[in-house]
Amino acid sequence: MEIISVTPRGYCQGVVRAIRIARRTAEEHPGQPITMLGMIVHNRYVVEECERLGIRCVEDSRLTRRELLSRIPEGIVIITAHGASDDVFAEARARGLTVVDATCPDVERTHELVREHVRTGDVIYLGKHRHPEAEGTVGISPRVHLVSTVEEIQKLNGLSDILITSQTTLSILDTEKLLKACLERWPDAVVSPEICNAIRIRQEAVLKLKDTDVLIVVGDPHSNNSHQLAEIGLSAGIPHAYLIENADQLEESMIRNASRVAVTSGSSTPNELTQAVIDRLHACAHTAQ
């Protein structure tokens, strides 16, 4: 069995930056209550590392960032790499919380683009419902319209001076499909897809895989970009794609009879978890010889 370690994989620069900001906050404010508004990045191992540093995480995927904020009574609140809407920042400060902003600069750039455009027109935002990054962007203005499907695009009405943009972690294939549907309805719309470079090159590397029987994506079940990598693998013709959190979830049945297995990871997955999966695959290949 041949094992391909797809590159690039592992932390993107936005995740590295968010973790650095969280560590520094804990070091500079010993003994103060510090709370993360949601998972710092979508990986429970990183969240657990933050908890060891004394940073509590409030997370409930059924609640908005604003609702989660109401669970933080005092101290420092860290805004995650996914960003948050202006309302959330304002409310946190109004309640006397100290805000530390770990929003990824790529997300912030999308926010600035959207803030600028809603002064004169509407924004169609291609993204995922109930994802914190989408929530933060939609919260900028009622003129931002979140769509995940072609059907939702067909239902939009009464828009003018349209900008189409997207969540940074969307699939490049989904984005193409949604963009095409938008441009069929509004051919004059301005287009500025904002899939970040880190996500784009990881997805393109999976699309380029040849003659691969199985794709293993190491990532957290909450991680949108990890799910996207598995879906892109299937779209690229790889017969089987699995999202696993760690080496313990690798099952022999996933790789049975496979000649070529590729491994990649989400942008919020610690490298040691991916390496442990690669090591286990090598051990399986060795045993099978």
Note the residues at the interface with ligand SF4 (CB under 6 A). 12-15, 81, 104, 106-107, 168-169, 196, 198-199, 225, 267
CB of 241 to ligand SF4, least distance (A): 20
CB of 7 to ligand SF4, least distance (A): 16
Q: How many whole angstroms separate alpha carbon 121 and alpha carbon 135?
A: 19
Nearer to ligand SF4, 181 or 219 (CB): 219
Our CA angle for 88, 92, 94, nearest 5°, is: 115
Q: Which residue is nearest to ligand SF4 (CB)?
A: 14
- Which residue in 59, 133, 135, 245 is the catalytic one? 133
Nearer to ligand SF4, 153 or 170 (CB): 170
Cis bond before residue 8 (omega within 30° of 0): yes
CB of 106 to ligand SF4, least distance (A): 4
Nearer to ligand SF4, 108 or 213 (CB): 108
Q: Quick check: is 133 catalytic? A: yes
> Quick count: other Cβ atoms within 10 Å of Cβ 50?
23
CB of 76 to ligand SF4, least distance (A): 21
Give residues with Cβ within 8 angstroms of 50, minimum separation 6.
19, 22, 26, 36, 40, 57
Of 163, 168, 148, 178, whose CA–CA distance to 115 is shortest? 163
Please say whether the beta carbons of 140 and 134 come within 8 A.
Answer: no
Please say whether the beta carbons of 75 and 55 come within 8 A.
Answer: no
Nearer to ligand SF4, 201 or 283 (CB): 201
> Which residues are known catalytic residues?
133
